[in-house]
Amino acid sequence: MKGVVFTEFLELVEEKFGYATVDHIIERSELSNDGAYTSVGTYDYHDLIRMVVELSQITGSRVPDLVKFFGHHMFHVFTKAYPELLRTTHCTFEFLPHVEKAIHVEMRKLYSDAELPSFRFEYPADNEIVMYYQSTRPFADLAEGLIEACAEHFGEPVRIQREDLAPHDGTQARFAITKL
Amino acid sequence: MSNLDLLLRRLEREKRARKEAETLLELKSRDLYEVNEQQHLLTACLADQAHRIQSILDTAPEAILTLELDGQIGSVNPATERIFGYPAEELTGKSIAYLIPSFRANALTEILPTLIAANSSQCHEEIGRRSDGQELPIELTVSALPDDGGYIWLVRDIARRRQMEAQLAHASKMESVGALAAGIAHEINTPIQYVGDNTRFLDDAFQDLDDVFGKIELLLNAYQDGTLRPELVAEVREAAEKADLEYLREEVPKAIAQSLEGAERVVKIVRAMKEFSHPGSEEKTAVDLNRAIESTITVSRNEWKYVSEIELDLDPDLPLVRCLPGDLNQAVLNLVINAAHAIEKRRDDEGKLDQLGTIRVSTRRVGESVELRIADSGTGIPEELLSRIFDPFFTTKPVGKGTGQGLAITYSVIVEKHGGSLDIETKVGEGTTFVIRIPL
């Protein structure tokens, strides 16, 4: 997993819980590189999971909620990094397909070895879009947080119905997003 | 743990992260350098290949053109300029019909699939037009570029090849005339022989008659002078008996008739030879096909008379046929000689050396065509050879008896030069019929 995810996660923890908490979860997680992450590096995603689990124990929040929250954060990271995305898209239904078309394309330019999740879309009705998430890593919660943050950004009330798909380990999910 | 300790630990992590980032940056820089180097090598390689391809295009003797999907010329090589006489800049953007007038835009879309499909097996022949208006025969090969990128046209100037083919056909005709010469000499020799014998007989007869005439003259003079004696009359009678007047009265007219008939045969052979070997006209002319066939049969008599009889069934109402007479004579001769050879081979194979075969030549009108059939009672042609018999230089005859040019030339004459058809009906052991049809 790209280092930018790790550095953004630790920045988020520091911002919300202070650098003592960051130091604590790094110490407790027995990380492969002792928490010295750089955004341009590539690291084992299990390190991230271990840190989230430790954070969960400290804060008492559920792991899925923490990951979803991190998804909200990543949405804002993306929109800062790729501001043209917000200029060319005007709603959730436009923005989400552009993640695959724009952000992933840019990521591959910077990190040719990046293993990115893939998104596939269906359009069953004018007010409904279905997004299929597929990844080698179990971060469907992160994708859900991203969708929620996107809808919030555009001020669109939506209903998100998530269905975890086989093998039901968070690597594959179906999100039916309906505008309310 | 104090805040200072926490900050120091964080500083330590940041320092290590920075070093890792610097190391990664160096690795990326190296990767970039190597990719750049490979890119340079690739660019040089591509430039070299482009140079080679350009050299091939520049030195190729064939015109090579790229065409857009709509038939507009995209690029041309120097050979195109040389063959068609236009500068490249004048051709770019023009329709291919500019060089090959028969390919008007609509016709091009119709014929392109055929041209491309034929690419691997055969070339398409067309007539091109030079900048000075002169027409030139060309041969085309068309390939489609990938991804609807247009077409590559390879155009060969075949004017010289056509000239060589014409020379070869003429040489082949001369070869036939040469080969026929010995037979014709023999054909002429026979009547000349008995014309000579008869003339010698007439000469002897005249000597005998001259003696009789001399005695008769003496008799007449004596009668006028009044000195006629019985002995003189007896001398005239003796000379007449010696000359055998009764025999001469019977044989001299026969000798004269035979001599005239021999002379007529010679005249006929010479006329046939003259008609057969008349220099080929460039233009088609109206020809009496039956007469042309008879001439060809006459000049080739020595080729078939020892192995076959000829049956002629020529339609007396056959209309005149517009054709190239020299070429057509050549085609008929080739088929007649082939028929004789097939009969000779069957006779040899079956050991029936004293048996004559049959060559039947017939003509008739069929719709808007004339049909000429040349049927023989020879060996027939095995099915596996049928697809090859019109190939140039293909022959089953022994060395010295066939060059493999006969049927190839015949096919070219009938199909290509006259727009006719040439079909074969054959059965091994029974014979072969060549069926020629020429449009009127």
Q: Using N-to-C axis directions, what is the helix angle for A140-153 and A63-81, rounded to 10°?
A: 50
Residues 34 through 93 of chain A touching chain B, CB cutoff 8 Å = 34-41
Distance from CA of A10 to the nearest CA of B (A): 11
Residues of B in contact with A22 (CB under 8 A): 10
Confidence category of residue A153, pLDDT binned at 50, 70, 90: very high
- Using the Cβ of A32 and the Cβ atoms of chain B, whether some distance falls under 8 Å is answered with no
Confidence category of residue A37, pLDDT binned at 50, 70, 90: very high
pLDDT at B404: 60
Clarify whether residues A101 and A170 are in a common domain: yes
Of A26, A33, A38, Cβ closest to residue B21? A38
Residues of B in contact with A33 (CB under 8 A): 16, 20
pLDDT at A70: 96
| pLDDT tens readout for residues A38-69 | 988 889 999 999 999 999 999 999 999 999 99
Residues of B in contact with A23 (CB under 8 A): 1, 6, 9-10
Question: How many residue pairs bridge chain A and chain B with CB atoms within 8 Å of each other?
Answer: 38
- Using the Cβ of B10 and the Cβ atoms of chain A, whether some distance falls under 8 Å is answered with yes
Q: Which domain holds residue A166?
A: 72-179
Of B6, B18, B20, Cβ closest to residue A23? B6
Q: Which residues of chain B have pLDDT under 70?
A: 105-109, 115-123, 179, 277-282, 392-394, 396-405
- Using the Cβ of B31 and the Cβ atoms of chain A, whether some distance falls under 8 Å is answered with no
Of B13, B21, B24, Cβ closest to residue A35? B13
CB-based contact A40 B1, cutoff 8 Å: no
CATH value at residue A105? 3.90.1520.10
Q: Using N-to-C axis directions, what is the helix angle for A19-29 and B3-59, rounded to 10°?
A: 70
- Judge whether A67 lies within some domain: no
- Using the Cβ of B16 and the Cβ atoms of chain A, whether some distance falls under 8 Å is answered with yes
Confidence category of residue A135, pLDDT binned at 50, 70, 90: very high
- Using the Cβ of A109 and the Cβ atoms of chain B, whether some distance falls under 8 Å is answered with no
Q: List chain B domain ranges.
A: 1-58, 60-157, 187-277, 278-440
- Using the Cβ of A139 and the Cβ atoms of chain B, whether some distance falls under 8 Å is answered with no
Domain B187-277, what fold? 1.20.5
To test the contact with chain B by mutation, choose from A9, A11, A17, A23 the residue with the greatest count of B C-beta atoms within 10 A, namely A23
- SS3 string, chain B, reads CCHHHHHHHHHHHHHHHHHHHHHHHHHHHHHHHHHHHHHHHHHHHHHHHHHHHHHHHHHCCCEEEEECCCCEEEEECHHHHHHHCCCHHHHCCCEHHHCCCCCCHHHHHHHHHHHHHCCCCCCEEEEEECCCCCEEEEEEEEEECCCCCCEEEEEEECHHHHHHHHHHHHHHHHHHHHHHHHHHHHHHHHHHHHHHHHHHHHHHHHHHHHHHHHHHHHHHHHHHHCCCCHHHHHHHHHHHHHHCHHHHHHHHHHHHHHHHHHHHHHHHHHHHHHHHCCCCCCCCEEECHHHHHHHHHHHCHHHHCCCEEEEEEECCCCCCEEECHHHHHHHHHHHHHHHHHHHHHHHHHHCCCCCCEEEEEEEEEECCEEEEEEEECCCCCCHHHHCCCCCCCCCCCCCCCCCCCHHHHHHHHHHHHCCCEEEEEEECCCEEEEEEEEEC
CB-based contact A26 B13, cutoff 8 Å: yes
- Judge whether A98 lies within some domain: yes
Residues of A in contact with B1 (CB under 8 A): 20, 23
pLDDT at B277: 67
Domain count, chain A: 2
pLDDT at B106: 59
CB-based contact A19 B24, cutoff 8 Å: no
Clarify whether residues A43 and A115 are in a common domain: no
Clarify whether residues A52 and A92 are in a common domain: no
Clarify whether residues A45 and A125 are in a common domain: no
d(CA B304, CA B340): 5
Residues of B in contact with A36 (CB under 8 A): 12-17, 20
Q: How far apart are the first and last CA of chain A?
A: 35
Clarify whether residues A54 and A81 are in a common domain: no
Clarify whether residues A138 and A91 are in a common domain: yes
Distance from CA of A36 to the nearest CA of B (A): 5
d(CA B394, CA B48): 45
> Last residue of some domain: A12, A35, A61?
A61
Clarify whether residues A41 and A125 are in a common domain: no
Distance from CA of A23 to the nearest CA of B (A): 7
Distance from CA of A8 to the nearest CA of B (A): 14
To test the contact with chain B by mutation, choose from A26, A38, A51 the residue with the greatest count of B C-beta atoms within 10 A, namely A38
- Our CA angle for B310, B313, B317, nearest 5°, is 145
d(CA A45, CA A136): 10
d(CA B58, CA B92): 17
Flag whether pLDDT at A177 surpasses 90.
yes
d(CA B295, CA B275): 7
pTM of the model: 0.49
Clarify whether residues A54 and A119 are in a common domain: no
pLDDT at B400: 58
Residues of B in contact with A37 (CB under 8 A): 17
Clarify whether residues A26 and A99 are in a common domain: no
Clarify whether residues A157 and A114 are in a common domain: yes
Q: What DSSP designation does A137 have? A: S
CATH placement of domain B60-157: 3.30.450.20
CB-based contact B16 A23, cutoff 8 Å: no
Clarify whether residues A77 and A39 are in a common domain: no
Flag whether pLDDT at A178 surpasses 80.
yes
Q: Residue B60, exposed/middle/buried by CB under 10 A (0-12, 13-18, 19+)?
A: middle
CB-based contact B17 A36, cutoff 8 Å: yes
CB-based contact A34 B13, cutoff 8 Å: yes
Residues of B in contact with A40 (CB under 8 A): 21, 24-25, 28
pLDDT at B213: 92
CB-based contact B10 A38, cutoff 8 Å: no
- Judge whether A66 lies within some domain: no
Residues of A in contact with B12 (CB under 8 A): 36
Residues of A in contact with B18 (CB under 8 A): 38
Clarify whether residues A162 and A100 are in a common domain: yes
CATH placement of domain B278-440: 3.30.565.10
- Using the Cβ of A175 and the Cβ atoms of chain B, whether some distance falls under 8 Å is answered with no
> Last residue of some domain: A42, A61, A80?
A61
